Amino acid sequence: MVITRVAEHQWHALSDDRVVGRGEASPRPDGRLFLSIDTWHDADFARLAGAMLPALPRPLYTVVDEADGELKSHWERAGFTTRRREWEYVVPTSSASLPPGVTISPATDPDLLRSLDDVVRAEVAASVGWSSMPAEVLRPGFLDLSKYVVASESGRYVGLVRLGPVRHQTRIGLLVVRSDCQRRGIGRALSTFVLDFLWGKGVSSVSFEVDSTNAAAMALADGAGARRVGSTVELVVR
């Protein structure tokens, strides 16, 4: 078995000149490095991890489906511990009327969208910290209007939903509302609008993830009739 670093963030495990394992360190938009290792044999996983970890700056992260106990154990044996957990939900789409007083539509103004994104990021940074958010959340500069539905009020965007396909399941990647506009039903109005829109498109259900410590988001999911179907854990080694 030979471990070879084939690029700055990529390693191969070779046996008789055949690739029997791959490891990769992927920089995320928030600057964190997330690792992935794909092998057939447990010993190859341990060897790849043993080569990668000393060569990379700490802390290092990875995300694992919690139902995959074997993979989670591999990372834990490499020194990783659980940092955060997200519950995965599936919610049926449905046709329903929006609460009065809320204007919701697809995003059309990139400046307003970026302004809302900046406000939300500043609010998160000042409270729980941006690193507590899902790894996939993107920074300004990655905004694609076609993926956003927004709530508007007084000429500004006050809330948004980002949609994206994951495998064969439509997914809600992010739902946020400005802190000064929360507890007015805007988040529920956004989710209702999106579910109604997808129902009209023939999409029967969508998935999303909620931080296991976010009681408000879990209450919103329960209120929408969502069903918990699994969980992922984010692991870290420091």
CATH number at residue 68: 3.40.630.30
Residue 59: asked if its preceding bond is cis (omega within 30°), the reply is: yes
Determine the structural domain holding residue 37 and report its residue range: 2-85
Return per-residue pLDDT of the chain as tens, 238 residues: 799 999 999 999 998 888 999 999 998 867 889 999 999 888 899 999 999 999 999 999 999 999 999 999 999 999 999 998 988 888 877 655 555 667 888 889 988 988 988 888 888 777 766 666 655 555 545 567 888 889 998 889 999 988 776 556 677 878 888 988 888 888 888 888 888 887 877 878 888 888 888 887 788 788 777 888 889 898 999 9
Same domain for 180 and 65, yes or no, is no
pTM above 0.75, yes or no: no
What residue ranges in 140-223 does DSSP mark as E strands?
148-153, 156-166, 169-177, 205-211
The residue behind tokens 């992010």 is 174
Check if the beta carbon of residue 173 is closer than 8 Å to that of residue 189.
Answer: no
Please identify, among 66, 85, 104, the residue that sits at the C-terminal boundary of a domain: 85
Q: Tokens 């809600």 belong to which residue?
A: 172
Among candidates 146, 225, 223, 148, which has minimal Cα distance to 188? Answer: 223
Query: b/e string for 7-18 if b means 16 or more Cβ within 10 A?
Result: eebebbbeeeee
> Could you say which of 85, 111, 134 is where a domain stops?
85
User: How far, in Å, CA of 94 to CA of 139, rounded?
Assistant: 31
